[in-house]
Structure 1
Amino acid sequence: MTRPGDFTTRPELRGTFGVAGSTHWTATAVAMGILERGGNAFDAAAAGGFVLQVVEPHLNGPGGEVPILTYSATGDKIEVVCGQGTAPASASAAGFRAMGLDLVPGTGLLPACVPGAFGAWLRMLAEHGSMPLREVLEPAIFYAEHGFPLVPKIVNALRSVEPLFREEWPSSAAVYLSSSGHPKEGDLFRNPDLAATYRRIVEEAEAAGRDRETQIEAARTCWYEGFVAEAIDRFYRTQELKDSTGERHGGLLTGQDMADWRAMVEAPATYDYHGLTVAKCGPWSQGPFMLQQLALLRDLPLDEMPPDGPDFIHTVVEAAKLAFADREAWYGDSAGAVPLETLLSDAYTAERRKLMGDRASEEFRPGAPDGRPPVLPDYQVADENSIDVSALLGVGEPTVSKAGEEETDSNGALRGDTCHIDVIDRWGNMVAATPSGGWFQSSPVVPELGFSLSTRAQMFWLKEGLPSTLMGGKRPRTTLTPSMALKHGKPYLAWGTPGGDQQDQWSLSFLLRHLHHGYNLQEAIDAPSFHSEHPPSSFWPRLAKPNLLLVEGRMPKDSVEELKRRGHDVSVGEDWSEGRLSACSQETRNGMRYLRAGANPRGMQGYAAGR
């Protein structure tokens, strides 16, 4: 077994005042700065979230979405703020099939949903924040207006999409390119149109009244019913642009779709596991997938299995395969169609656990909760005849790259991705949020606004009768899945990662290493990791790679060989290629609150801060 000291890159940060961690050092610094100025965790997370939209535009944007888990020390409970926008009212599976499509495209105008991130951040601020809207948005405005240094991955993404922008998406070229080409690593990149958009929102909000509640509601109205909605409506009604199908399509999203949407606050889905109550977003996300894995693993002797050993990896992966199968058959934004209570029940889990054997399973086996026969989508298994998307950019959410590749899928397509931020303040408030969507590779920039919209509708299926079948006004089953946990009923842990279908695999491995093997937050983040690509991808072109197991190059060779012997199709990636986790925790001892934080070194962007 590899010891934590063999691979830890940084110390676990400890303090009593406040902690923050995110996928970009600037967002972490901004969040910590808000805490230093007297703001709470909700102010800090929102400010950091708005900054992530600016400094990681290849990973998220203002036109994206964000699920947020909050713990309020005054309310003493975890809640979900749903920032996942819905499909346009006119969207339907039958309508897409009538266009000759068997999948929702991964890029372009057709897969746009209502951009929910702005409404979700504002809903959280209205209910739990303390600072004026201007102070929360000012850091994002500053970096959009004055610039930020480009990291290599942004430059590589811009290099790849430059032909698409110049030939097909001129509004994106106007923002991200110049006559001489794309910007270079280290260049200061400015987005004055985005800065002007946010500055106008602040000015109109302040003109509406002096109290922060009035201003927040005025800002929300400005976005969903005012000039932002009008610009989106105008662009999506009048343009037909190239998408991942290779064809040109118009959009379906309208200003009325924007006006009809509001961010909702919901109770989380939860599961009790070894003294923790783990909280996730509901089955409109993939969140319960982690809870089902915990249920399958709860009674197994994980403490006795080294976390980089073959027994541990095999057991966790086989549980993931079963939970993934249930995700495809049963999850979605469909009232009454998701039997979540049964999926997490002891009796159902015990029967499912019997399917976990000593050999790797190549099957895809959903269960039949309450005796209901499962229905699966019509997905394809990846092979040499799969769709070639090498020239179609902006699809997917990989986070993981193999040797010699730069955030590409197995067909060579440059993918978008996601961000994450966690904050805990000195009063005990906690936030875990996973912003995504609206990355610049996904769809053309909306003129006047300076940003693209999410293409999250690609996660719907066009087959009828599934909880995740495309329908107007319905949320796509997002992969975005922040995590939070209570420890013996007390607020304890906030964590998460980018990574599409891998998010809850990496988040689970982190939790198990921390809980069963005593790793601190940074050690659990840094440990060699792995993931399965057994299920159909949630991203266009929705391919499955049954039994494929990816492990980091630092994984012990003996473990790799034993996993192969057990039948896993093992692919060894780079040494530091799996996930971008961050985490914050709190515990109270002798009346003093102790805070901790860690962040991922992979990609050289994520940092934690605290004191």
Structure 2
Amino acid sequence: MTFTPPASFTTRPTLRGTFGMSASTHWTATATAQSVLERGGNAFDAAVAGAFVLHVVEPHLNGPGGDLVALVRPAGASVPVVLMGQGPAPAGATLEHFRERGLDLVPGAGGLAAAVPGAVDAWLLLLRDHGTWELGDILAYAVGYARDGHPLVAGAATTIARVADLFHAHWPSSAERWMPTGGPPAPGTVVTNPEWADVLDALVAVGAALPDRAARIDAARERWMVEVLPEAAAFLRQPHRHADGADHPGILDTSDLVSWRAGYEPAVTARFRAWDVFKAGAWTQGPALLHTLRLLDDVDDAGLDPATVEGAHLLLEAQKLSYADRDAWFGDADGAIDVDALLAEEYVAARRALIGPEASAEWRPGSPDGRPPVSPPLRTEHASGDGSTGEPTVDRSGQTRGDTCHIDVIDRWGNVVSATPSGGWLQSSPTVPSLGFCLGTRLQATWLVPGHPASLTPGRRPRTTLTPTLLSRADEVIAVGSPGGDQQDQWQLTVLLRMLVGGYNPQQAIDAPNLHTTALVDSFWPRTWAPAGAAVEDRLGAEVIEGLEQRGHRVRRMGDWSLGRVTAVGRGSDGTLWAAANPRGAQGYAAGR
């Protein structure tokens, strides 16, 4: 072991077995996925069932009106594919439309920020193509929790309390759904969502008479995109309060919905320490992790230890460079970065040479393919400057932030999935009363300026923070991911370095103290950055924290157990399966045997 030895104490063991493993950000979703494996389903059946449960039990972190990115590798395949569940901007989402309303950013809450919701269609596509179960059996878990109830997690209760004034004053349908007694529910209150249960039952019923399983699932997909989502879009075209403090109607229209479907894309990849690391393309932030790993690949093992001043400083500085390139070059546009150019040795070496002994306070994008970088509007200081972790916050005006879920599953046959669903948070926009959910706000990740790869463009996807990871080396595989907005890959990086380089077992790596840079352009409204900012868990130790401060990092101490909510599953070289999950917040769990 070349890193600082981990403490002998871990919050729980790394689970090991040969049958199947599941891990997610909520114990009920993990239990659901494992239940499907126990009943003969494969990893894809299990992940889809668990994901629909996440919509119900983590409504402040994801919802049916949100989006999804996953890495999917069927048994026998040598590389994974990307399950693409991120819908595009509506046809009416033009720069002119927003400017006419006096906006220079897409608001972080309200229907103006709604892209085409992609999560549900993507999950149904995965079930059709790679699952084995009937849709009704898959959805029965979520229907049960929505109709019969589940205990509300503390984070959801806190979010509802924060947004209570907004709900009462401006979003009465949300107040009725989440505060039926007039006030915010206490943690542990058993809550139901019968309207959503009815929607799910109708998705099953629409194809019940069809003779073919795939056709039954396609019928559900059609009903979702052509009937259910248009109803939601029509509701949000009524003017309602947005994060800018004004009332606007939504712009998502039926024509935007009926013409779009989820799909598959090739993954992008880089090699690190003999592992092939796979991510989604530059319409996500995923290639930034690949670039960071390339920057670090020539460093000796001991120099990559996040528990040392040198290692922590190196990780922060490397990621500043990677995220500067993300903020200048990533997006779903013709002018977006060529990932091969981003990962090319000559470019990586030039970027690596910029890392010095002191903390940089500059925004330093490069020119991977020779073009000058495109700068987004840079607004210094905001919530990220205080170490924000992406947790949902809402104020009286409607300013809102949301977070994310994650689920990983591997089965005994070798099927594996790493998926990060998000968006459609209960605080995103007013609840559609007949449906029990709201639409998401992913368009807030676009810029209202022309010429940037992430500029708002009708028909183009907003650049998403959702960034699951899959790694392989010979017969070994790791599926890993995290909530956390801009921090998702940063928290995964420390876990991966401790596992692949430092010799930690997965649970030790997840439990170990984490950190991240806040010196990046925030992907969420109000889109600002904190030069030289860094957030750390206090458990990193006074010596390391003081050493970072001496090098010029503006460090925010975030408490002992606050950063990093990674879950992971995998298969070792001996064929043994394993799983581990984040203990922070007492919500994420792994299960398996």
TM-score band (shorter)?
Answer: over 0.9
Structure 1 position 573, deviation (Å): 1.0
**2:155 aligned partner, one-letter code:** K
Q: How does 1:109-120 map to 2 (within 5 A)?
A: 109-120=111-122
**2:530 paired with 1:530:** no
Q: How does 1:391-540 map to 2 (within 5 A)?
A: 399=389, 415-488=401-474, 490-540=475-525
Q: TM-score, normalised by structure 1?
A: 0.94
Aligned residues of 1:398 and 1:407 also touching (Cα < 8 A)? no
Structure 1 position 370, deviation (Å): 2.3
Q: Distance in 2 between matches of 1:272 and 1:407?
A: 38
Q: Distance in 2 between matches of 1:363 and 1:412?
A: 32
Q: Distance in 2 between matches of 1:324 and 1:233?
A: 34
Equivalent in the alignment of 1:93: 95
Q: How does 1:562-577 map to 2 (within 5 A)?
A: 562-577=547-562
**1:610 aligned partner, one-letter code:** G
Q: How does 1:62-101 map to 2 (within 5 A)?
A: 62-101=64-103
Aligned residues of 1:65 and 1:436 also touching (Cα < 8 A)? yes
**2:134 aligned partner, one-letter code:** P
Aligned residues of 1:399 and 1:407 also touching (Cα < 8 A)? no
Equivalent in the alignment of 2:53: 51
Equivalent in the alignment of 1:372: 371
Structure 1 position 229, deviation (Å): 2.7
CA offsets per residue over residues 14-37 of structure 1, 9 Å max, x none?
000000000000000000000000
Equivalent in the alignment of 2:535: 550
Equivalent in the alignment of 1:339: 338
CA offsets per residue over residues 232-273 of structure 1, 9 Å max, x none?
232133x00001000000011011111111112001010011
Please list every run of 5 or more consecutive structure 2 residues that lacks an aligned counterpart in the other structure: none
CA offsets per residue over residues 166-222 of structure 1, 9 Å max, x none?
110111112111244222221110001111111111111213x13210111000000
- Shifted more, 328-337 versus 501-510: the winner is 328-337
Distance 1:407 1:179, change over 3 A: closer
Q: TM-score, normalised by structure 2?
A: 0.96
CA offsets per residue over residues 424-472 of structure 1, 9 Å max, x none?
0000110000010001011111121100111000000011101100011
Equivalent in the alignment of 1:391: none
CA offsets per residue over residues 50-96 of structure 1, 9 Å max, x none?
00000000111111101011011144330001001111011112321
Please list every run of 5 or more consecutive structure 1 residues that lacks an aligned counterpart in the other structure: 388-396
Distance 1:447 1:440, change over 3 A: same
**2:105 paired with 1:107:** no
Distance 1:462 1:70, change over 3 A: same
**2:589 paired with 1:603:** no
Equivalent in the alignment of 1:229: 229
Structure 1 SS opposite 2:520: coil
Q: Distance in 2 between matches of 1:312 and 1:481?
A: 24
Structure 1 position 413, deviation (Å): 6.1
Q: Distance in 2 between matches of 1:400 and 1:220?
A: 31
Q: How does 1:65-214 map to 2 (within 5 A)?
A: 65-207=67-209, 209-214=210-215
**2:587 aligned partner, one-letter code:** Q
Aligned residues of 1:63 and 1:115 also touching (Cα < 8 A)? yes
Percent identity (aligned): 49
Equivalent in the alignment of 2:43: 41
Aligned residues of 2:206 and 2:223 also touching (Cα < 8 A)? yes
Q: How many residues align?
A: 590
Q: Distance in 1 between matches of 2:213 and 2:77?
A: 20
**2:257 paired with 1:275:** no
Aligned residues of 1:307 and 1:517 also touching (Cα < 8 A)? no
Distance 1:42 1:305, change over 3 A: closer
Q: Distance in 2 between matches of 1:78 and 1:523?
A: 26
**2:428 aligned partner, one-letter code:** S
Aligned residues of 1:493 and 1:585 also touching (Cα < 8 A)? yes
**2:251 paired with 1:249:** no
Q: Distance in 1 between matches of 2:138 and 2:324?
A: 41
CA offsets per residue over residues 448-500 of structure 1, 9 Å max, x none?
11001110000000111011000111100000100001113x45100000000
Aligned residues of 1:585 and 1:595 also touching (Cα < 8 A)? yes
Q: Distance in 2 between matches of 1:305 and 1:185?
A: 40
Equivalent in the alignment of 2:567: 582
**1:40 aligned partner, one-letter code:** N
Aligned residues of 1:400 and 1:577 also touching (Cα < 8 A)? no
> RMSD of the TM alignment (CA)?
2.0
